[in-house]
Structure 1
Amino acid sequence: MRVVVTDAEVTMADVLSLRLAIEEPLPEGTRLVLRRRGGGPESTVVLGTPGAEAHDVSVAVSLGPLALGPGRWDTYLEQGEQGKGSRTRVQCVDPGFSLDRLDAYALSRRTLAYRAYRTLNGYLALRVASADPVADVRAVWLREGRFEVTGLLAYTGITDDDAHRPARLALRPPAGPDGVVTTAATVQGVRFHAALSLCDVLAATPHYEGLWEPSLEVDGLAEPLPLGARIDDVDGKRRRVQYPDTEVDGVPMRPCYTADDELRLEVG
Protein backbone atom coordinates (compact mmCIF):
# COMPACT_ATOMS: atom_id res chain seq x y z
CA MET A 1 0.00 0.00 0.00
CA ARG A 2 1.56 3.27 -1.11
CA VAL A 3 0.36 6.39 0.71
CA VAL A 4 2.00 9.81 0.29
CA VAL A 5 1.16 12.94 2.27
CA THR A 6 0.94 15.90 -0.12
CA ASP A 7 -0.04 18.47 2.50
CA ALA A 8 0.44 18.38 6.28
CA GLU A 9 -0.53 21.02 8.81
CA VAL A 10 -1.37 21.32 12.49
CA THR A 11 -4.28 23.75 12.70
CA MET A 12 -4.87 26.41 15.33
CA ALA A 13 -7.10 23.92 17.18
CA ASP A 14 -4.27 21.34 17.37
CA VAL A 15 -5.79 19.14 14.68
CA LEU A 16 -3.40 17.27 12.38
CA SER A 17 -4.78 17.89 8.89
CA LEU A 18 -3.40 15.63 6.14
CA ARG A 19 -4.00 15.32 2.42
CA LEU A 20 -3.15 11.80 1.24
CA ALA A 21 -2.46 10.55 -2.29
CA ILE A 22 -3.31 6.84 -2.38
CA GLU A 23 -3.10 4.14 -5.05
CA GLU A 24 -6.07 2.18 -3.68
CA PRO A 25 -8.76 2.74 -1.03
CA LEU A 26 -7.71 2.49 2.59
CA PRO A 27 -9.25 -0.68 4.05
CA GLU A 28 -11.76 -0.32 6.84
CA GLY A 29 -10.02 -0.20 10.21
CA THR A 30 -6.78 1.30 8.89
CA ARG A 31 -4.99 2.97 11.78
CA LEU A 32 -2.63 5.92 11.99
CA VAL A 33 0.10 5.02 14.49
CA LEU A 34 2.28 7.63 16.18
CA ARG A 35 5.46 6.17 17.67
CA ARG A 36 7.83 8.24 19.78
CA ARG A 37 11.49 7.94 18.94
CA GLY A 38 13.53 6.36 21.69
CA GLY A 39 10.73 4.07 22.82
CA GLY A 40 7.70 4.50 25.03
CA PRO A 41 3.97 4.13 24.41
CA GLU A 42 2.38 4.52 20.99
CA SER A 43 -0.82 6.35 20.07
CA THR A 44 -3.26 4.91 17.54
CA VAL A 45 -6.20 6.48 15.68
CA VAL A 46 -8.63 4.53 13.47
CA LEU A 47 -9.09 6.24 10.10
CA GLY A 48 -11.87 4.09 8.68
CA THR A 49 -12.74 3.87 4.97
CA PRO A 50 -12.43 7.23 3.14
CA GLY A 51 -14.11 6.00 -0.07
CA ALA A 52 -13.78 3.26 -2.66
CA GLU A 53 -12.97 5.48 -5.64
CA ALA A 54 -10.90 8.19 -3.98
CA HIS A 55 -7.28 8.78 -4.93
CA ASP A 56 -6.91 11.90 -2.74
CA VAL A 57 -8.13 11.69 0.84
CA SER A 58 -8.35 14.28 3.61
CA VAL A 59 -7.71 13.15 7.18
CA ALA A 60 -8.13 15.16 10.38
CA VAL A 61 -6.83 13.90 13.74
CA SER A 62 -7.31 15.81 17.00
CA LEU A 63 -3.95 15.67 18.81
CA GLY A 64 -4.99 16.86 22.27
CA PRO A 65 -6.84 13.67 23.34
CA LEU A 66 -3.85 11.51 22.30
CA ALA A 67 -1.76 12.73 25.26
CA LEU A 68 1.44 12.91 23.23
CA GLY A 69 4.42 13.93 25.33
CA PRO A 70 7.29 16.16 24.20
CA GLY A 71 9.54 14.54 21.62
CA ARG A 72 9.62 13.40 17.99
CA TRP A 73 6.85 11.10 16.78
CA ASP A 74 7.08 9.08 13.56
CA THR A 75 3.89 8.15 11.68
CA TYR A 76 2.80 4.79 10.28
CA LEU A 77 -0.30 3.29 8.69
CA GLU A 78 -1.26 -0.08 10.16
CA GLN A 79 -3.64 -2.71 8.81
CA GLY A 80 -4.79 -5.97 10.31
CA GLU A 81 -4.70 -6.87 14.00
CA GLN A 82 -3.67 -3.92 16.16
CA GLY A 83 -0.07 -4.17 17.22
CA LYS A 84 0.53 -7.20 14.99
CA GLY A 85 -0.63 -6.06 11.56
CA SER A 86 1.45 -4.75 8.69
CA ARG A 87 2.85 -1.23 9.07
CA THR A 88 3.93 1.26 6.43
CA ARG A 89 5.82 4.39 7.33
CA VAL A 90 4.03 7.44 5.92
CA GLN A 91 5.92 9.21 3.15
CA CYS A 92 5.63 12.98 2.77
CA VAL A 93 6.33 15.43 -0.07
CA ASP A 94 5.09 18.58 1.68
CA PRO A 95 8.20 20.82 1.68
CA GLY A 96 7.37 22.49 4.98
CA PHE A 97 5.48 25.34 6.59
CA SER A 98 5.31 29.12 6.51
CA LEU A 99 6.64 31.25 9.35
CA ASP A 100 3.49 33.40 9.22
CA ARG A 101 1.37 30.36 10.02
CA LEU A 102 3.68 29.43 12.90
CA ASP A 103 3.52 32.98 14.23
CA ALA A 104 -0.28 32.88 14.30
CA TYR A 105 -0.19 29.49 16.04
CA ALA A 106 2.17 30.84 18.71
CA LEU A 107 -0.12 33.73 19.70
CA SER A 108 -2.42 31.46 21.72
CA ARG A 109 -1.64 30.39 25.27
CA ARG A 110 -0.74 26.69 25.13
CA THR A 111 0.91 23.99 27.20
CA LEU A 112 2.15 21.95 24.23
CA ALA A 113 3.05 22.99 20.69
CA TYR A 114 2.62 20.51 17.82
CA ARG A 115 4.33 20.71 14.46
CA ALA A 116 4.12 18.44 11.42
CA TYR A 117 7.26 18.22 9.30
CA ARG A 118 9.03 16.13 6.67
CA THR A 119 12.11 14.24 7.82
CA LEU A 120 15.38 14.29 5.88
CA ASN A 121 14.46 10.87 4.47
CA GLY A 122 11.07 12.08 3.24
CA TYR A 123 8.69 10.78 5.91
CA LEU A 124 5.97 12.52 7.92
CA ALA A 125 6.73 13.18 11.59
CA LEU A 126 5.44 15.28 14.47
CA ARG A 127 7.43 17.38 16.86
CA VAL A 128 5.81 18.00 20.24
CA ALA A 129 7.38 20.59 22.56
CA SER A 130 6.48 22.39 25.75
CA ALA A 131 4.92 25.75 24.93
CA ASP A 132 6.16 27.89 27.80
CA PRO A 133 5.86 31.66 27.22
CA VAL A 134 8.97 32.98 25.47
CA ALA A 135 10.30 36.10 23.79
CA ASP A 136 11.05 34.54 20.40
CA VAL A 137 14.11 36.15 18.82
CA ARG A 138 13.94 37.21 15.18
CA ALA A 139 17.10 39.31 14.95
CA VAL A 140 20.04 40.11 17.21
CA TRP A 141 23.00 42.44 16.67
CA LEU A 142 26.05 43.86 18.39
CA ARG A 143 26.34 47.29 16.83
CA GLU A 144 27.26 50.81 17.87
CA GLY A 145 28.28 49.46 21.26
CA ARG A 146 24.88 47.91 21.97
CA PHE A 147 23.29 44.49 22.35
CA GLU A 148 20.11 44.82 20.27
CA VAL A 149 17.32 42.29 19.79
CA THR A 150 13.87 42.12 18.20
CA GLY A 151 11.22 39.41 18.18
CA LEU A 152 7.75 38.14 19.01
CA LEU A 153 6.02 37.30 22.30
CA ALA A 154 4.98 33.65 21.93
CA TYR A 155 2.50 31.51 23.89
CA THR A 156 1.64 34.39 26.24
CA GLY A 157 -1.97 34.93 25.14
CA ILE A 158 -1.30 38.66 24.60
CA THR A 159 -3.42 40.10 21.81
CA ASP A 160 -1.68 41.08 18.59
CA ASP A 161 -2.84 44.70 18.52
CA ASP A 162 -1.28 48.18 18.50
CA ALA A 163 -1.24 48.59 22.28
CA HIS A 164 2.07 49.56 23.91
CA ARG A 165 3.05 47.73 27.09
CA PRO A 166 5.75 48.79 29.54
CA ALA A 167 8.66 46.33 29.39
CA ARG A 168 12.31 45.95 30.36
CA LEU A 169 15.19 43.91 28.99
CA ALA A 170 17.34 42.40 31.76
CA LEU A 171 20.78 40.84 31.29
CA ARG A 172 21.96 38.63 34.15
CA PRO A 173 25.60 37.61 34.68
CA PRO A 174 26.52 33.92 35.10
CA ALA A 175 27.53 34.46 38.74
CA GLY A 176 23.99 35.20 39.90
CA PRO A 177 21.62 38.12 40.47
CA ASP A 178 24.34 40.63 41.37
CA GLY A 179 25.30 42.90 38.52
CA VAL A 180 22.03 42.66 36.54
CA VAL A 181 21.85 45.24 33.74
CA THR A 182 18.41 46.49 32.66
CA THR A 183 17.05 48.84 30.04
CA ALA A 184 13.61 49.90 28.82
CA ALA A 185 12.17 47.80 25.98
CA THR A 186 9.49 48.58 23.41
CA VAL A 187 6.55 46.17 23.22
CA GLN A 188 3.73 46.90 20.77
CA GLY A 189 1.14 44.17 20.58
CA VAL A 190 3.29 41.04 20.46
CA ARG A 191 6.39 42.60 18.86
CA PHE A 192 9.33 43.70 20.97
CA HIS A 193 12.59 45.61 20.51
CA ALA A 194 15.32 46.44 23.00
CA ALA A 195 18.90 47.74 22.94
CA LEU A 196 21.31 47.62 25.88
CA SER A 197 24.74 49.28 26.22
CA LEU A 198 27.66 46.85 26.22
CA CYS A 199 29.66 49.33 28.30
CA ASP A 200 27.02 48.98 31.02
CA VAL A 201 27.56 45.23 30.91
CA LEU A 202 31.28 45.62 31.57
CA ALA A 203 30.66 48.18 34.29
CA ALA A 204 28.17 45.94 36.11
CA THR A 205 30.74 43.53 37.54
CA PRO A 206 34.51 42.99 37.36
CA HIS A 207 33.93 39.28 36.62
CA TYR A 208 33.16 39.54 32.94
CA GLU A 209 33.62 36.05 31.61
CA GLY A 210 30.71 33.70 30.99
CA LEU A 211 27.28 33.46 29.40
CA TRP A 212 24.98 36.35 30.33
CA GLU A 213 21.27 35.49 30.27
CA PRO A 214 18.77 37.96 28.76
CA SER A 215 15.09 38.05 29.70
CA LEU A 216 12.15 40.31 28.89
CA GLU A 217 9.92 41.60 31.68
CA VAL A 218 6.50 42.68 30.37
CA ASP A 219 3.85 44.35 32.54
CA GLY A 220 0.89 42.02 32.93
CA LEU A 221 2.93 38.81 32.73
CA ALA A 222 3.71 37.04 35.99
CA GLU A 223 7.19 35.83 35.02
CA PRO A 224 10.02 37.25 32.91
CA LEU A 225 10.24 35.75 29.44
CA PRO A 226 13.45 33.97 28.42
CA LEU A 227 14.82 34.96 25.03
CA GLY A 228 15.02 32.05 22.62
CA ALA A 229 14.47 31.06 18.99
CA ARG A 230 12.06 28.14 18.71
CA ILE A 231 9.41 29.10 16.16
CA ASP A 232 11.24 28.23 12.96
CA ASP A 233 12.72 25.25 11.12
CA VAL A 234 16.31 25.54 12.40
CA ASP A 235 17.17 22.91 15.00
CA GLY A 236 20.43 22.93 16.92
CA LYS A 237 21.15 26.66 16.67
CA ARG A 238 24.16 26.35 18.97
CA ARG A 239 25.95 24.58 16.10
CA ARG A 240 24.29 26.14 13.07
CA VAL A 241 23.84 29.83 13.93
CA GLN A 242 27.04 31.83 14.36
CA TYR A 243 27.06 35.57 15.03
CA PRO A 244 30.06 37.86 14.52
CA ASP A 245 31.69 39.06 17.72
CA THR A 246 32.86 42.48 18.82
CA GLU A 247 35.24 43.91 21.42
CA VAL A 248 34.51 46.49 24.09
CA ASP A 249 37.59 47.77 25.95
CA GLY A 250 39.44 44.68 24.76
CA VAL A 251 36.79 42.24 26.03
CA PRO A 252 35.28 40.02 23.27
CA MET A 253 31.50 39.59 23.15
CA ARG A 254 29.13 37.67 20.88
CA PRO A 255 25.55 36.37 20.94
CA CYS A 256 25.11 32.58 20.93
CA TYR A 257 22.53 29.89 21.67
CA THR A 258 22.35 27.09 24.22
CA ALA A 259 21.46 23.47 23.47
CA ASP A 260 17.83 24.44 24.24
CA ASP A 261 17.90 27.27 21.65
CA GLU A 262 17.94 30.00 24.30
CA LEU A 263 19.86 33.18 23.56
CA ARG A 264 22.95 34.16 25.57
CA LEU A 265 25.58 36.88 25.41
CA GLU A 266 29.03 35.35 25.66
CA VAL A 267 31.46 37.73 27.37
CA GLY A 268 35.21 37.17 27.58
Structure 2
Amino acid sequence: MMSKHDTPLRADCAIDTDGRITFRLPPASAARPQLLLALRPKKGRPETTSHHLELEPDPADGKWHAVLEPLQALDEGRWDFYLLPEPGAERQRLRPGLRDLRALVDGHLRDRPSPVAVRIPYVTKDGFLALRAWLRTAHAEARALDVTDRAITVEARLHGARLHEDATVRLRLRGSDTVRSLRPRIDEDGRGFSFTAGQKDLTVDGGGAGRFWDAFVLPTADARPIRIGRLLDDVADRKHVYVYPAMTTDGTAARPYYTVDNDLAIEMT
Protein backbone atom coordinates (compact mmCIF):
# COMPACT_ATOMS: atom_id res chain seq x y z
CA MET A 1 0.00 0.00 0.00
CA MET A 2 1.29 3.47 -0.85
CA SER A 3 2.12 5.68 2.11
CA LYS A 4 1.40 9.40 2.21
CA HIS A 5 5.10 10.07 1.54
CA ASP A 6 5.26 7.98 -1.64
CA THR A 7 5.07 9.65 -5.05
CA PRO A 8 2.28 8.18 -7.20
CA LEU A 9 3.53 6.47 -10.34
CA ARG A 10 1.93 8.27 -13.29
CA ALA A 11 1.66 7.46 -16.98
CA ASP A 12 1.04 9.93 -19.79
CA CYS A 13 -0.98 8.72 -22.76
CA ALA A 14 -1.88 10.04 -26.20
CA ILE A 15 -4.22 8.52 -28.77
CA ASP A 16 -4.21 9.16 -32.52
CA THR A 17 -7.04 9.05 -35.06
CA ASP A 18 -6.34 5.37 -35.83
CA GLY A 19 -6.82 4.38 -32.19
CA ARG A 20 -3.10 3.89 -31.49
CA ILE A 21 -2.27 4.76 -27.87
CA THR A 22 1.24 5.73 -26.77
CA PHE A 23 2.10 5.53 -23.07
CA ARG A 24 5.04 7.28 -21.42
CA LEU A 25 6.35 6.68 -17.90
CA PRO A 26 9.13 8.38 -15.90
CA PRO A 27 12.66 6.94 -16.09
CA ALA A 28 13.17 3.92 -13.86
CA SER A 29 15.98 1.57 -12.90
CA ALA A 30 14.03 -1.53 -13.89
CA ALA A 31 15.77 -3.70 -16.45
CA ARG A 32 12.77 -5.31 -18.19
CA PRO A 33 9.66 -3.28 -17.33
CA GLN A 34 6.29 -4.02 -18.87
CA LEU A 35 2.97 -2.22 -19.01
CA LEU A 36 0.24 -4.58 -17.83
CA LEU A 37 -3.37 -4.15 -18.96
CA ALA A 38 -5.83 -6.16 -16.88
CA LEU A 39 -9.49 -6.57 -17.81
CA ARG A 40 -11.54 -5.72 -14.74
CA PRO A 41 -13.69 -8.77 -13.90
CA LYS A 42 -17.30 -8.66 -12.83
CA LYS A 43 -17.84 -8.33 -9.10
CA GLY A 44 -16.91 -11.53 -7.29
CA ARG A 45 -15.14 -13.03 -10.31
CA PRO A 46 -11.37 -13.63 -10.62
CA GLU A 47 -9.20 -11.68 -13.03
CA THR A 48 -8.58 -13.81 -16.13
CA THR A 49 -7.64 -11.57 -19.08
CA SER A 50 -4.55 -9.39 -19.46
CA HIS A 51 -2.11 -8.01 -22.01
CA HIS A 52 1.56 -7.12 -21.61
CA LEU A 53 3.29 -4.32 -23.51
CA GLU A 54 7.06 -4.01 -23.53
CA LEU A 55 8.35 -0.67 -22.25
CA GLU A 56 11.31 0.74 -24.17
CA PRO A 57 13.53 3.68 -23.14
CA ASP A 58 13.38 6.85 -25.22
CA PRO A 59 16.97 8.01 -25.94
CA ALA A 60 15.81 11.63 -26.02
CA ASP A 61 14.60 11.93 -22.43
CA GLY A 62 15.07 8.51 -20.85
CA LYS A 63 11.35 7.97 -20.33
CA TRP A 64 9.85 4.54 -20.89
CA HIS A 65 7.25 4.23 -23.61
CA ALA A 66 4.92 1.54 -24.95
CA VAL A 67 2.44 1.50 -27.81
CA LEU A 68 -0.95 -0.19 -27.89
CA GLU A 69 -1.55 -0.75 -31.59
CA PRO A 70 -5.06 -0.38 -33.04
CA LEU A 71 -5.05 -3.93 -34.42
CA GLN A 72 -4.47 -5.41 -30.97
CA ALA A 73 -8.03 -6.39 -30.08
CA LEU A 74 -9.19 -5.73 -26.54
CA ASP A 75 -12.27 -7.40 -25.11
CA GLU A 76 -15.15 -5.06 -24.35
CA GLY A 77 -14.96 -3.75 -20.81
CA ARG A 78 -12.78 -1.69 -18.47
CA TRP A 79 -9.02 -2.22 -18.37
CA ASP A 80 -6.74 -1.18 -15.50
CA PHE A 81 -3.07 -0.27 -15.95
CA TYR A 82 -0.10 -1.49 -13.94
CA LEU A 83 3.66 -1.23 -14.13
CA LEU A 84 5.40 -4.58 -13.94
CA PRO A 85 9.06 -3.75 -13.12
CA GLU A 86 10.13 -7.20 -14.29
CA PRO A 87 8.43 -10.53 -15.01
CA GLY A 88 7.14 -12.05 -11.79
CA ALA A 89 7.51 -8.83 -9.79
CA GLU A 90 4.68 -7.23 -7.83
CA ARG A 91 2.63 -4.99 -10.08
CA GLN A 92 2.09 -1.30 -9.33
CA ARG A 93 -1.15 0.39 -10.33
CA LEU A 94 -0.73 3.57 -12.36
CA ARG A 95 -2.15 7.03 -11.80
CA PRO A 96 -2.94 9.25 -14.81
CA GLY A 97 -0.48 11.82 -16.07
CA LEU A 98 -1.23 13.92 -19.15
CA ARG A 99 -4.01 12.48 -21.32
CA ASP A 100 -4.09 13.75 -24.90
CA LEU A 101 -7.50 12.72 -26.27
CA ARG A 102 -7.90 15.47 -28.87
CA ALA A 103 -8.06 12.95 -31.72
CA LEU A 104 -11.22 11.44 -30.20
CA VAL A 105 -13.29 14.62 -29.96
CA ASP A 106 -14.60 14.48 -33.55
CA GLY A 107 -14.33 10.70 -33.88
CA HIS A 108 -18.02 10.43 -34.80
CA LEU A 109 -17.27 12.20 -38.09
CA ARG A 110 -15.15 9.31 -39.42
CA ASP A 111 -16.82 6.18 -40.80
CA ARG A 112 -15.50 3.00 -39.17
CA PRO A 113 -15.07 -0.42 -40.81
CA SER A 114 -16.09 -3.70 -39.19
CA PRO A 115 -15.22 -4.64 -36.52
CA VAL A 116 -15.70 -1.34 -34.72
CA ALA A 117 -13.06 -1.05 -31.98
CA VAL A 118 -13.18 1.91 -29.60
CA ARG A 119 -10.76 2.75 -26.76
CA ILE A 120 -11.03 5.73 -24.41
CA PRO A 121 -8.47 6.32 -21.63
CA TYR A 122 -10.10 7.77 -18.52
CA VAL A 123 -9.62 8.31 -14.79
CA THR A 124 -11.44 6.03 -12.35
CA LYS A 125 -13.44 7.38 -9.42
CA ASP A 126 -10.53 6.54 -7.11
CA GLY A 127 -8.02 8.34 -9.32
CA PHE A 128 -6.31 5.60 -11.34
CA LEU A 129 -5.66 5.33 -15.08
CA ALA A 130 -7.99 2.99 -16.95
CA LEU A 131 -9.22 2.27 -20.46
CA ARG A 132 -12.81 1.78 -21.61
CA ALA A 133 -12.96 -0.56 -24.61
CA TRP A 134 -15.75 -1.56 -26.96
CA LEU A 135 -15.48 -4.20 -29.70
CA ARG A 136 -18.51 -4.72 -31.92
CA THR A 137 -19.12 -6.16 -35.36
CA ALA A 138 -21.08 -3.00 -36.18
CA HIS A 139 -22.20 0.05 -34.24
CA ALA A 140 -24.90 2.70 -34.66
CA GLU A 141 -23.63 6.03 -33.32
CA ALA A 142 -26.36 8.26 -31.90
CA ARG A 143 -25.95 11.92 -32.70
CA ALA A 144 -28.71 14.47 -32.11
CA LEU A 145 -31.60 13.66 -29.76
CA ASP A 146 -34.67 15.88 -29.88
CA VAL A 147 -37.36 15.57 -27.22
CA THR A 148 -40.73 17.32 -27.52
CA ASP A 149 -44.00 16.90 -25.65
CA ARG A 150 -45.13 14.42 -28.32
CA ALA A 151 -42.12 12.45 -29.54
CA ILE A 152 -38.45 11.54 -29.21
CA THR A 153 -36.42 11.81 -32.41
CA VAL A 154 -32.96 10.27 -32.74
CA GLU A 155 -30.40 10.88 -35.48
CA ALA A 156 -27.69 8.24 -35.85
CA ARG A 157 -25.07 6.82 -38.21
CA LEU A 158 -24.23 3.18 -38.83
CA HIS A 159 -20.59 2.02 -38.79
CA GLY A 160 -19.40 -1.36 -40.02
CA ALA A 161 -22.52 -2.06 -42.11
CA ARG A 162 -25.03 -0.42 -44.45
CA LEU A 163 -28.77 0.05 -44.21
CA HIS A 164 -31.11 -1.43 -46.81
CA GLU A 165 -34.63 -0.45 -47.78
CA ASP A 166 -36.15 -2.89 -45.30
CA ALA A 167 -34.04 -1.66 -42.37
CA THR A 168 -35.88 -1.46 -39.05
CA VAL A 169 -35.37 0.26 -35.71
CA ARG A 170 -36.33 -1.98 -32.83
CA LEU A 171 -37.15 -0.91 -29.29
CA ARG A 172 -37.02 -3.84 -26.88
CA LEU A 173 -38.58 -3.71 -23.44
CA ARG A 174 -35.81 -4.74 -21.08
CA GLY A 175 -36.38 -8.08 -19.39
CA SER A 176 -39.16 -9.15 -21.74
CA ASP A 177 -39.92 -10.27 -25.29
CA THR A 178 -41.92 -7.12 -26.04
CA VAL A 179 -40.61 -5.14 -29.01
CA ARG A 180 -41.69 -2.16 -31.06
CA SER A 181 -40.59 -1.88 -34.69
CA LEU A 182 -40.18 1.57 -36.24
CA ARG A 183 -39.43 2.52 -39.83
CA PRO A 184 -36.29 4.69 -39.99
CA ARG A 185 -35.64 7.52 -42.41
CA ILE A 186 -32.47 6.49 -44.26
CA ASP A 187 -29.90 8.83 -45.83
CA GLU A 188 -28.81 8.31 -49.42
CA ASP A 189 -25.42 6.87 -48.38
CA GLY A 190 -27.09 4.01 -46.49
CA ARG A 191 -25.39 4.89 -43.22
CA GLY A 192 -27.15 7.88 -41.72
CA PHE A 193 -30.67 7.40 -40.38
CA SER A 194 -33.21 8.81 -37.96
CA PHE A 195 -36.36 7.60 -36.24
CA THR A 196 -39.14 8.96 -34.08
CA ALA A 197 -40.85 7.25 -31.14
CA GLY A 198 -44.13 8.58 -29.80
CA GLN A 199 -45.91 7.84 -26.56
CA LYS A 200 -48.00 5.05 -28.14
CA ASP A 201 -44.80 3.28 -29.25
CA LEU A 202 -43.61 3.20 -25.63
CA THR A 203 -46.87 2.21 -23.95
CA VAL A 204 -47.53 -1.37 -22.88
CA ASP A 205 -50.44 -3.07 -21.15
CA GLY A 206 -50.29 -2.60 -17.41
CA GLY A 207 -48.58 0.80 -17.61
CA GLY A 208 -45.06 1.81 -18.50
CA ALA A 209 -43.60 3.36 -15.34
CA GLY A 210 -40.38 1.81 -14.08
CA ARG A 211 -39.59 0.19 -17.42
CA PHE A 212 -36.78 0.64 -19.91
CA TRP A 213 -36.65 0.38 -23.70
CA ASP A 214 -33.30 -0.48 -25.33
CA ALA A 215 -32.70 0.76 -28.89
CA PHE A 216 -31.36 -1.27 -31.84
CA VAL A 217 -31.23 -1.00 -35.62
CA LEU A 218 -31.49 -3.92 -38.06
CA PRO A 219 -29.78 -3.17 -41.42
CA THR A 220 -32.19 -5.61 -43.10
CA ALA A 221 -35.41 -7.15 -41.86
CA ASP A 222 -33.70 -10.45 -40.95
CA ALA A 223 -30.34 -9.06 -39.77
CA ARG A 224 -29.00 -9.27 -36.24
CA PRO A 225 -29.87 -6.21 -34.13
CA ILE A 226 -27.11 -3.60 -33.76
CA ARG A 227 -27.05 -1.57 -30.57
CA ILE A 228 -27.56 2.18 -30.87
CA GLY A 229 -25.29 4.15 -28.54
CA ARG A 230 -22.68 6.87 -28.41
CA LEU A 231 -19.08 5.72 -28.27
CA LEU A 232 -17.12 7.72 -30.82
CA ASP A 233 -15.69 10.64 -28.87
CA ASP A 234 -13.66 11.24 -25.70
CA VAL A 235 -16.40 10.59 -23.10
CA ALA A 236 -15.90 7.21 -21.42
CA ASP A 237 -18.92 7.43 -19.09
CA ARG A 238 -21.84 9.33 -20.55
CA LYS A 239 -24.77 8.40 -18.31
CA HIS A 240 -24.51 11.32 -15.89
CA VAL A 241 -22.95 13.76 -18.38
CA TYR A 242 -25.61 13.81 -21.12
CA VAL A 243 -28.98 14.40 -19.47
CA TYR A 244 -32.12 14.91 -21.57
CA PRO A 245 -35.61 16.19 -20.79
CA ALA A 246 -38.60 13.86 -20.72
CA MET A 247 -41.60 13.56 -23.00
CA THR A 248 -44.58 13.67 -20.64
CA THR A 249 -48.06 12.51 -21.64
CA ASP A 250 -51.00 11.59 -19.39
CA GLY A 251 -48.80 11.47 -16.32
CA THR A 252 -46.18 9.15 -17.86
CA ALA A 253 -42.70 10.45 -18.66
CA ALA A 254 -40.36 8.96 -21.27
CA ARG A 255 -36.74 10.12 -21.01
CA PRO A 256 -33.89 9.05 -23.30
CA TYR A 257 -30.58 8.36 -21.59
CA TYR A 258 -27.29 6.53 -22.03
CA THR A 259 -26.63 3.39 -20.00
CA VAL A 260 -23.43 2.58 -18.10
CA ASP A 261 -22.18 1.08 -21.39
CA ASN A 262 -23.06 4.29 -23.31
CA ASP A 263 -25.93 2.53 -25.11
CA LEU A 264 -29.15 4.41 -25.86
CA ALA A 265 -32.26 3.57 -23.86
CA ILE A 266 -35.55 5.19 -22.86
CA GLU A 267 -36.70 5.20 -19.25
CA MET A 268 -40.41 5.30 -18.39
CA THR A 269 -41.40 6.95 -15.11
Normalising by structure 2, we get a TM-score of 0.69
Larger Rg: 1
State the Cα distance separating 1:254 from its structure 2 match: 2.5
Partner of residue 213, structure 2:
212
Partner of residue 237, structure 2:
235
Contact 1:199-1:248 at 8 Å conserved across structures: no
Task: Structure 1: state its 5+ residue gaps.
Answer: 159-163
> Is 1:76 aligned with 2:79?
no
Contact 2:57-2:64 at 8 Å conserved across structures: no
Deviations 1:145-179, CA, capped at 9 Å, x for gaps: 2220012223x245xxxxx853443444566347x
Partner of residue 184, structure 1:
184
State the Cα distance separating 1:257 from its structure 2 match: 4.0
Contact 1:28-1:49 at 8 Å conserved across structures: no
State the Cα distance separating 1:109 from its structure 2 match: 1.0
Partner Cα separation in structure 1 for residue 197 and residue 69 of structure 2: 44
Identity %: 21
Task: Structure 2: state its 5+ residue gaps.
Answer: 1-6, 42-46
Contact 1:16-1:61 at 8 Å conserved across structures: yes
Contact 1:33-1:78 at 8 Å conserved across structures: yes
Partner of residue 54, structure 2:
46
SS at match of 1:103: helix
Q: Which structure has more helix as a fraction of its residues?
A: 1
Change (3 A) 1:259 1:41: closer
Contact 1:92-1:118 at 8 Å conserved across structures: no
Number of aligned pairs?
Answer: 252
Partner Cα separation in structure 2 for residue 214 and residue 32 of structure 1: 37
Partner Cα separation in structure 1 for residue 258 and residue 119 of structure 2: 22
Partner of residue 130, structure 1:
135
Change (3 A) 1:63 1:43: farther
Aligned pairs (5 A) from 1:30-45: 30-38=33-41, 39-45=47-53
Higher relative contact order (CA 8 A, sep 6+): 2
Contact 2:152-2:247 at 8 Å conserved across structures: no
RMSD between aligned alpha carbons?
A: 3.9
Change (3 A) 1:259 1:138: same
State the Cα distance separating 1:229 from its structure 2 match: 2.8
Aligned pairs (5 A) from 1:147-226: 147-154=152-159, 156-158=160-162, 166=165, 167-172=167-172, 176-177=177-178, 180-189=180-189, 190-199=191-200, 202=203, 206-209=205-208, 210-219=211-220, 222-226=223-227
Partner of residue 161, structure 1:
none
State the Cα distance separating 1:244 from its structure 2 match: 2.0
Q: Letter of the aligned partner of 2:67 in structure 1? A: A
SS at match of 2:228: strand
Partner Cα separation in structure 1 for residue 249 and residue 91 of structure 2: 63
Contact 1:115-1:128 at 8 Å conserved across structures: yes
Which deviates further from its counterpart, 24-33 or 131-140? 24-33
Q: Letter of the aligned partner of 1:138 in structure 2? A: R
Partner of residue 3, structure 2:
none
Normalising by structure 1, we get a TM-score of 0.70
